[in-house]
Amino acid sequence: MNINKFYTDGYDEWQMPPHLSAMVWGQLLCENWIDHPVYKEIPDWSINKGGEAQNQDQKYLRGKEQEINEQSLSIVPAAYKTVIEELLKEDYYSEWFDTVCGYQQKIKFIDVWNGSDDLKWHWDGVEDHDMGFLIYFTEEHRWDEEWKSYLQIGEREWPNDKEINIKHTAYPSNGKIILLNNMNPRFVHSVAKLTNANVNRYTINAGISLWN
């Protein structure tokens, strides 16, 4: 894991191990996908039914967000939870978080969706997790930048949301893992809308709390 990038730029990027990618694809292909007012589609079990945890300005409502996230772990298919648990055990992550830091870890929520909508710069600290996985899957061998649907990671002077120093732009690719540092409220991220309805950009989002 790139420790310096995680703490200096607010993220780390890795590639999902092949055996875990196979588990994810096995579950994605079994889902009953339904239309969604924001994303392209969601699995029928998803906690993300229609932005219930946001107000009309797309600002998170803390209590509702926590309630919905807690519900997710009782309904998410076991395959996704197993993948996140096994991912955290990989040496790439465990050598730092377990061996060096001695952190205890708890999965706070897991959600899955397909597609993306415009999402303004924001910090996920309201969701009460210290780091967050955004893991992308797609059948496309090459992502055309015209399709957008990219994640941008930036840094700001708290609480200024107007002047953002962009650290990284991540376009979707199959098995790409972005680990976001939510411990520092200076780090924010935004998302661009998927402009091509004929391609899939599946996302697994998982929040993790750390303590020791």
Decide the pairing of beta strands 151-155 and 187-191. Answer: antiparallel
- Tally the domains of the chain: 1
Bridge partners of residue 178, in order along the sequence:
13, 134
pLDDT recorded at residue 59: 55
Residue 57: predicted pLDDT: 46
Closest CA to 208 of 91, 94, 109, 124: 109
Boundaries of domain holding 99 = 3-211
Structure tokens at 122: 């924001």
Which residues are bridge partners to 35 per DSSP? 41
**Cα 149 off chain centre by:** 13
pLDDT of residue 114: 98
CATH number assigned to the domain comprising residue 7: 2.60.120.620
**pLDDT beneath 70, residues of the chain:** 49-62
pLDDT digits (tens, 9 = 90+) for 120-167: 999 988 777 999 999 999 999 999 999 999 999 999 999 888 899 999
Token reading at 212: 């020791």
Type of residue at 130: D
8 A C-beta contact, residue 161 and residue 101: no
Q: What are phi and psi of 98, to 5 degrees?
A: -90, -55
Cα–Cα distance list, 102 to 7, 95, 189, 210, 211 (Å) = 17, 9, 27, 10, 8
**pLDDT score recorded for residue 54:** 46
**Pairing outcome for strands 151-155 and 104-114:** unpaired
